[in-house]
Chain A
């Protein structure tokens, strides 16, 4: 995925649509937008940095997972098998991007009132005691659709495609716009590229 920081307007639509698509529990933000101020007065600017699992090529979470619950698919998407995860949270410790969430408690959006029917339906996919993260909306991608955050971005800041295909739009953007990755020095080779603001 390529995210154009020049196009991102910090509207948090990706964050909201991710919630709507995946029905995650409160406190879990598979997609989020980090707001940061850069520079010193008077030369300051505000940066909206969309974040999600970086689906690293050398994913440390895959390496350290003691059960094999975290796997890297042939297409590069890193997934978690909820039936294998034991909730040791080792992957949370090694993720440099804060993209993994341990479901410790059954938080709901209306504390004290139990879960409403919509929450009950959504939370059935998010049991407690395990770790979760973004899977690039695998169910959508397997149907030939874009991930929800890509489809919903009103500024077209996100482009999803095959990094190995040199003719793809993502490869073209990476080549032409001097794309960079977050924390490259961590040696994880993230699959999310950012275009400079």
Chain B
């Protein structure tokens, strides 16, 4: 049954000077945030699994990227049957580049993990293809938002770095959860140290991003206000700050000196994953369009002389 509330909302939005973007966050629009979150986590898991030489992590990465990220991407589209067309314009569209990255990554990664392939020349080539795809997945999401100049809060050049940092965090966090569940399958101390460093870095990036948004014009300031004092603030403070930064940094610092027992390790990982999701949710949700009417030229009389009103 079509929602009349959504129809009213759309018509009201058309008259607002500051229109919030809703297509990529409300209803099925939330799926694009979920898809971007899981694609980042999948790419991050691949990178850390390669670095830590953890085979199960490679499989997890493929499953997360193909099933969760790919499924959410397809479910988001209005006409998923035509999704193959989205690869046609990598020369101009970041969505095409992202899809190309996912395809390269999955093709390379799946062939790389097949038995007997890894130690061959073909295996090395597939590893290179998967790493290329992974790099594309890591960077494309930030650029998808960055090029939207109509939404000044996204049009901040730091955004791609923020998305890369959060993708790496997500990958490390998922591996921490896996490690907590499966036992000492790789060097957890090393991963914990890397994760703490990435979390602290991402905290600095978030603060810097918010500071830049404050100077990016009235619409971006409006977005910032929504984030820190408006309707999105519970998700921002509870999800991004507390779950995503405070808990991982505090427990990570304790863990780096005293070590963490497995239950707490899983909690840090899950908390960090939730924070990774919420930072992306908050950034997308806070998107507000540039007002259509800016400064109009001064009104003039019929003889062309300036007049007041």
Interface residue B3 (Cβ < 8 Å from any Cβ of A): yes
CB-defined contacts of B7 to chain A, threshold 8 Å: 26-27, 107
Rounded to whole Å, the gap between the CB of B69 and the closest CB of chain A is 15
- A97 in complex: contacting residue of B88, B93, B292, CB < 8 Å: B292
CB closest residue in chain B, given A38: B296
The answer to whether B290 touches A86 (Cβ under 8 A) is no
Report the count of interface residues on B (CB-CB < 8 A): 55
A68-B88 in contact (CB<8A): yes
Q: Which chain B residues (58-114) contact chain A, with CB distance < 8 Å?
A: 76-80, 82-83, 85-89, 92-96, 99
Say yes or no: A129-B79 contact (C-beta < 8 A), given A86-B85, A111-B2: yes
Residues from chain A with Cβ under 8 Å of B29 in the complex? 89
Asked whether A66 lies within 8 Å of B99 as measured between CB atoms, the reply is yes
Q: Provide the bound-state CA to CA distance between A141 and B3, in Å.
A: 35
Answer yes or no: B116 CB below 8 A from chain A CBs.
no
B85:A45 contact, CB within 8 angstroms? no
List chain B residues, Cβ under 8 A from A129.
77-79
| Number of A-B residue pairs at CB separation under 8 A | 155
Taking CB atoms, residues of chain A closer than 8 Å to B145 are 93
A21 partner residues in chain B, CB cutoff 8 A? none
Specify which chain B residues have a CB less than 8 angstroms from the CB of A36 in the assembled complex.
17, 293
Within 8 A of B (CB), among A57-108: 60, 63-69, 84-90, 92-98, 102-108
| B21 at the binding interface (Cβ < 8 Å) | yes
Query: A134 within 8 Å of B by Cβ?
Result: no
**What is the interface residue range for chain A against chain B?**
35 or more
Which B residues are in CB contact (< 8 Å) with A104?
Answer: 6, 27-28, 78
Q: Which of B135-177 contact A (CB under 8 A)?
A: 144-145, 147-151
Residues from chain B with a CB closer than 8 A to the CB of A106 are 2
Chain B residue nearest to A185 in the complex (CB)? B294
7 shortest A-B CB distances, which residue pairs?
A: A87-B78, A129-B78, A96-B150, A67-B85, A105-B2, A66-B95, A66-B86
Listed A/B pairs (19) with beta-carbon separation below 8 Å = A43-B308, A45-B299, A47-B293, A63-B92, A64-B95, A85-B79, A88-B78, A88-B86, A96-B149, A97-B292, A102-B78, A103-B78, A104-B28, A111-B4, A129-B77, A129-B78, A178-B297, A182-B292, A182-B293
Known pairs A66-B95, A88-B86, A128-B78 / 16 extra A-B pairs, C-beta < 8 Å: A34-B15, A36-B17, A63-B92, A66-B87, A68-B85, A86-B77, A86-B79, A86-B80, A89-B23, A96-B290, A98-B19, A98-B292, A105-B2, A106-B2, A178-B300, A196-B297
**Chain A residues proximal to chain B, CB less than 8 Å:** 26-27, 29, 32, 34-36, 38-39, 43-45, 47, 49, 51, 60, 63-69, 84-90, 92-98, 102-108, 111, 128-130, 178, 180, 182-183, 185-187, 196-197
